[in-house]
Structure 1
Amino acid sequence: MFVKRLDKEDELLLVHRRKVIRDYQENGICFSCQNFISGDIFPDDGLVIYEDELVRCQFEKFPRATGQTIIVSKLHYEDISEMPIDLGTHILKISNAIIKLHKEILGAEKVYMCTICDGKRNHLHFQLLPRLKGETIGYQNFVREEGVLTDYQETTDLYREALKSIKFNVFE
């Protein structure tokens, strides 16, 4: 897995994605819900590493950190204040497993977790941002310049296989 600097084509794709999101939001449409229908905003591209009836987890195509992972609720909640506690527990169990894999597979020293559900018509999601050895500690990791993920297939296969062997009983 490698994150390279954006080239002109990648920049255009990212600008287009942001415009599509903004257009949906301006029209009162949740872009994440729309993506679950169409798959056109955040296409799988082989980046989905775990999915069940409640959540989808995938690597970010335009990450700020190597291995940046998005965990998105399939049901619509504007933010964490609307999230049922059982769903939060489920997300934390999955997050814990992914964080362990980030440390094992990517060699992450720490993994930051955040949820930024901001703006018009947003959708509950969490982000995991691994911090690798030698990278800056702290909040700067949330505002790094985006890159584009390349050479990730082998890594996503490792995550999928590992996560497949874990039983995340829903609302256990």
Structure 2
Amino acid sequence: MECLGCRIANGIEPNLNIVFENELITCVLDIAPFNEGHTLILPKKHYWDVDEMDPETAHAVMDASQKMSALLKGLYKPDGVRICADGGKFNDLKHYHMHVVPRYEGDGFTWSEPLHPDGAENRLSETGAKIRKALGEQ
């Protein structure tokens, strides 16, 4: 297997800290955690982006995110939990993975403002209409 994400998800990589798995997904501790308990959820089958996943795998990922979020809240008492995934060129692993990160006030993990804002907030009605139209065409 060439894909690092596939090797992690299928338990082939050495020194993994797998915390949960089933036939579709694997949850493993991030090797560079933002906070203790930072977990990655990876499908065992190779996918690049969320929109490529079959519904059964997508549900397994979301179910695992709920399970891990509740578990991490109980264990570490964070102020909140961030659940996120990057796609396309921002997917540094080249294999779909979802982060579940316990968050604490003042931990420095921020959602920043865009470097080059394009005024999207002024086009919400048009954007909504465009998306609703596209959804109706599917």
TM-score (norm 1): 0.55
Larger radius of gyration: 2
The gaps in structure 1 that reach 5 residues or longer are: 1-23, 141-172
Partner of 2:111: 139
User: What is the identity percentage for the equivalent residue pairs of Structure 1 and Structure 2?
Assistant: 24
How far apart in 1 are the matches of 2:93 and 2:105? Answer: 37
Corresponding position of 2:101? 129
Query: Is 1:63 equivalent to 2:36 in the alignment?
Result: no
AA partner of residue 50 (structure 2): I
How far the C-alpha of 1:137 sits from its partner, in A, is: 6.6
> Residue 126 of structure 2 corresponds to which residue in structure 1?
none
Q: Is the 8 A contact 1:107 1:133 kept in 2?
A: no
Q: Please tell me whether the aligned partners of residues 59 and 70 of structure 1 are also in contact (alpha carbons under 8 angstroms).
A: yes
Question: What is the Cα deviation at residue 105 of structure 1?
Answer: 0.7
Question: Which of these residues, 12, 24, 42, is aligned with residue 38 of structure 1?
Answer: 12
Report the TM-score, using the length of structure 2 for normalisation.
0.67
**Backbone CA RMSD of aligned residues:** 2.5
Q: Distance in 2 between matches of 1:83 and 1:49?
A: 22
**C-alpha offsets along residues 146-168 of structure 1, whole Å, 9 cap, x if unaligned?**
xxxxxxxxxxxxxxxxxxxxxxx
- Preserved contact between residue 113 and residue 128 of structure 1 (Cα < 8 Å): yes
Ranked by relative contact order (alpha carbons within 8 Å, sequence separation 6 or more), the top structure is 1
Q: Which residue does 1:49 correspond to in 2?
A: 19
Q: 1:114 to 1:38 in 2, by over 3 A?
A: same
* Equivalent-residue separation in structure 2 for 1:127 and 1:118 (angstroms): 16
Could you say if the C-alpha distance between residues 133 and 123 of structure 1 is closer, same or farther in structure 2, counting changes exceeding 3 Å?
Answer: same
Find the aligned partners of 1:132 and 1:105 in 2 and give their Cα distance.
Answer: 14
Cα pair 1:54 1:73 within 8 Å, conserved: yes
